[in-house]
Structure 1
Amino acid sequence: MNKKLIALAIAGATMATTAHAAELYNNGDSTFSVGGHLSLSVAGSDEGDVGVTSNSPRINMEATHNLGAGYTMDVKGEWATNLLNGGEQAFTTRLGYMGITHDVYGRAVAGTQWAPYYDVAGVADMPIAFANDFIYENHGNLGTGRAEAMLSYRNSFDFGDAGAFNLGLALQGRNDDTSKGGEFNDAGDYVETTSGAKYGNRAQIALGYDIMDFGLGYAYNTGDFTEAGSSTSKTAESHVLSAKYGSYGNGLYVAGVYAKNENMQEYTNYSRGGFPTVADGTIEDANSYEFLVAYALSNSLNLSVNYEGVEDAAASKTVYSQSAIQAEYNFTPKFVGFAGYQIDLGNDYDSEKDNKWNIGARYYL
């Protein structure tokens, strides 16, 4: 694993914000940088009111240290920032990990981090306004996006003109994510409720192959969990395939993702898209798709079209389907304007369609 691939691995793990980070300290063996971005937009929909919203703003700090003998240690903390309201929820943790990387032996990371699964599944999760939703169904516990309390290992094997093979492995230990709450019923009695689930050991493997501008990936993710109030254990399992061409923001970029998920997705938690409540619990057998085509012009205008759909395979019904037309423009390397219009293509549970739009700006620190 050469130093160029090591650098790419570290940059990939920080999800692009490092490219805009300000390096505050560098003595040759140690570095310290601060980065992130702040985003605000005006958004609305056919069925909702127009309002000011934010698009995943965050602040992060990262440090690296050369340990010698080919080893480099890095630590990172990243916090989501609430730009619209103050109080106790002004900052919430997005990432927090410690990693160690070797030129030959690869990279190990412990903490809350982007999972190896996301290396494969996230290739179409690129536009600012509207992007992939199904990845983020309980992604912290099931390790499909930013995985909590994860131990991971990655390595890349460079074969020169023949391409590079990428390997990722990860584990998450047992975790009780249940919480108690309650509400008053019609009779005025307070009824205590328990939500969440207890998770057993979870594991995943991610494989990828890159040659020239093409990339292929496959990931497998599995683990057992028990829903609150139940004594029956379920197995969450996902097989995901992806393919991509090019580099997002540089000419033509095409990406596609297909996931076959069992008990990985929830009917009621489409938090980024605001989809209608269908039923409680997880989808026993779901097919999920995401496609993206983008083209960045020489003047920094990046145009894209994406499609996403989720099907309940057991019921032969569409949970949701949507497509978005989007544009992003780099006024400067640090200041980006964006606009998107998402078309609701309908589902088999709710006849109401709700098209959405979003116009805003992002400033990279």
Structure 2
Amino acid sequence: MNKKFLAAAIAAATFGTQAVAVELYNNDGTTFSIGGHVSVNLNGSEQGDTDVGTNSPRINFNATHDIGEGFTVDARGEWQVNYLDGGDNAFKTRLGYLGLSHDVYGRAVGGTQWAPYYDVAGVADMPIAYANDFIYDNHGALGTGRADKMLSYRNAIELGEAGVIKFGLGWQGAKEELAKYDDRMQLAVSYAIMGAKLGYTYNTGDFTEAGSKKETAESHLVSAAYGSYGKGLYLAGVYASNENMNTGLEESNAYEALIAYALPSSLNLSLNYEMVEGEETKGAKTTTTREQMAVQAEYNLTPKFVGYAGYQFDLNDENRKTDDSWTLGARYYL
């Protein structure tokens, strides 16, 4: 991992891929910044009423410190902000971790964090309004999105003009909530060259629900992407073969595809498709639990202020009424 990738890794972990943070302090190898975003949108659907909502608002505090010998420590705390409703639950933890990075030895992180699995799985999880949903089926416990109480390690091997190989490992210890989870482990590897990226990730761990026998949650996921979201053409696709990873399904296949094009005017147009199908028990009839397609537009009025609109078609009419939905809103990055 050279210094270019080290800087990119810390920046992505600290500020996120779309956020704009305000640096409040930078002196003698130490930085401190505040970031996040707030949003307000109108939401409606065929089966529901129109209302005012938000889209994943958050606030975060970030710090980095150069401790010498090529090592950099960074810390982050991030909370979901509930500012439309009163009450005691105004903040909810999203992220909280301590990281240690080196330009040769790689990066280790402990705490609640974006998992190595998501490094590969999240390539289609880009639009503001409608994006990849199946990743977030119990993602904290299963480590598919923001992983709770995880230790992770990442590094990269630069191959010059031949591209770069990135890899990551993750481990979560035993925990008990609605179900009792044993140790859970994951690995991720990707190869990038000339704007194209291919990735594979594996995730597994045992769990026991109340009154049930021990089961194994397991996922094999592959992804491919081209370009940079928000800069010209961006293409991404994801396929996952899962056991006990998606809600209500013992075995499942999940698909996500995204095509987006950002015009020089900062108007970003996108089309995404998602489907999850599988069996409630082995040998049962295959059912579709999720199938949807969305058309969306995002416009950067300024680098910090974005307007967005989307319409999602509910394509899953298997034993249910479909419910198309729409949203229109604005997001301000702190």
TM-score by shorter chain over 0.5: yes
| In 2, Cα distance between equivalents of 1:115 and 1:206 | 9
Q: Give the SS at the match of 2:121.
A: helix
- Work out the CA distance in 2 between the residues paired with 1:257 and 1:12: 21
Computed over aligned residues only, the root mean square deviation of the Cα atoms, in angstroms, reads 1.1
The separation in 1 between residues aligned to 2:61 and 2:4, in whole angstroms, is: 22
Correspondence for 2:258 = 292
Q: Contact (CA 8 Å) 1:32, 1:63: kept in 2 or not?
A: yes
Aligned to 1:348: 318
Q: Is the 8 A contact 2:19 2:333 kept in 1?
A: no
Residue-pair matches, total: 330
Matched, 1:316 2:297: no
Q: What's the counterpart of residue 46 of structure 2? A: 46
1:315 Cα offset (Å) = 2.3
Q: Report deviation, 1:145.
A: 0.1
Q: How does 1:173-192 map to 2 (within 5 A)?
A: 173-177=173-177
> How many percent identity over aligned positions?
63
SS at match of 1:32: strand
1:322 CA displacement: 0.3
| Deviation, structure 1 residue 13 | 2.4
Q: What CA distance in whole angstroms lies between the structure 2 residues aligned with 1:228 and 1:57?
A: 34
Q: What is the 5 A alignment of 1:47-196?
A: 47-177=47-177, 196=178
Q: Please state if 1:254 is matched with 2:224.
A: no
**CA distance, structure 1, for counterparts of residue 107 and residue 45 of structure 2:** 44
In 1, Cα distance between equivalents of 2:200 and 2:309: 32
Inter-partner Cα distance in structure 2 for 1:315 and 1:9: 44
Distance 1:347 1:239, change over 3 A: farther
Distance in 2 between the 1:336 and 1:11 partners?
Answer: 21
Q: Which segments of 5 or more consecutive residues in structure 2 lack a partner in the other structure? A: none
Report whether the alignment pairs 1:228 with 2:210.
yes
Q: What's the TM-score, normalizing by structure 1?
A: 0.89
Task: Check whether the contact 2:79–2:92 (CA below 8 A) recurs between aligned residues.
Answer: yes
Letter in 1 for 2:229: Y
Tell me the alpha carbon deviations over residues 120-163 of structure 1, each in whole angstroms, 9 at most, x when there is no partner: 00000000010110000000000000000000000011111100
Aligned-partner SS, 2:129: coil
SS state at 2:86 partner: coil
For the 8 Å contact 2:240–2:255, the answer to whether it is kept is yes
Q: Which amino acid aligns with 2:53?
A: T
Structure 1 residues 139 and 211 mapped into 2: Cα distance closer, same or farther (>3 Å)? same
Work out whether 1:358 is the aligned partner of 2:327.
Answer: yes
